[in-house]
Amino acid sequence: MTNVRQSRRLWLWYLPVLAVTCSFAGPFLWMLMTTLKTRVDTFAVPPKFIFEPTVANYEAVLNSEFMRSLGNSVIVALISTVFSITLGTLTAYGFSRYKFRRSDNVLFWILSLRMLPAVAVMVPFFLIFTSLKLLDTHTALIIVYSVFNISFAVWLLKGFFDEIPIELEEAAMVDGYGPWHVFRKVSLPMVVPGIATTAVFCLIQSMNEFLLAFVLTTRNATTGPVALSKFQSAVGVNWGEISAAAAMLVIPIAIFTIIVRNQLIRGMSFGRLR
């Protein structure tokens, strides 16, 4: 009887987890299957789960202009992420360790930049970059994405710095370390998991953003999400090629996440270390 109760309890835990996993993984797996289907198999009713795979969709994407747009996305996302993490780390440490008048208000103002919808700043950014002759350039997108990512990085990294006991830094100062050396040799190494976690989120945000990239670019700096819309033609939507392009858009994020996976896992559980 005890084993039966334990089995029921396990199922009560596993069923919700399985349902949530399927709800997230299901659309992604369906997209991957669509990349390997012909147009006929894609629109088959009922849906085909067993079919003869084809790589024609990937060949069409590799021979299209989407690859240049994908390269633009990677360049813009990486540079804006590095820039955001660098400034965000320094700013977050300052807010965590040095209190000044109305610092909470300044923090909330920084956070409000992240909550601001892209459509609200679309026209001002367009006018600014038009006057600066920066439309359809990587520089414009890097600046815009950094504005949103820095605010997110500051708030997230401040929480990681707050988790570091101040006694460790005080002990380092007793040993003769200055403020910069305390930050670089004591605090910074301890928040590397938090930096990796923040970098993943910033990279995802930069790679997936559509509206601002659609408005601020025309051809030379067009990003991957904008290029996806070009697979739609007068005769319909080629779902196989769109799925293949979307899958390739996920690859850079997946590679970066795999590289920092150990730090990412530590960062997710950082608050439990104290």
Q: Using the predicted structure, report yes or no on whether residue 183 has a pLDDT greater than 60.
A: yes
> How far from 250 is each of 28, 203, 255, CA to CA, in Å?
10, 11, 9
| pTM listed for this prediction | 0.82
- Confidence band of 272 (pLDDT split at 50, 70, 90): very low
Q: Mean pLDDT, to the nearest integer, of 262-269?
A: 64
Helix (H) or strand (E) holding 237: strand 236-237
Q: Using the predicted structure, report yes or no on whether residue 257 has a pLDDT greater than 70.
A: yes
Q: Using the predicted structure, report yes or no on whether residue 187 has a pLDDT greater than 70.
A: yes
Q: Mean pLDDT, to the nearest integer, of 66-71?
A: 91
Higher pLDDT, 268 or 79: 79
Q: Mean pLDDT, to the nearest integer, of 56-68?
A: 88
Q: Mean pLDDT, to the nearest integer, of 49-74?
A: 88
User: Average model confidence (pLDDT) for the chain?
Assistant: 84
Level-2 CATH architecture, domain 57-272: Orthogonal Bundle (1.10)
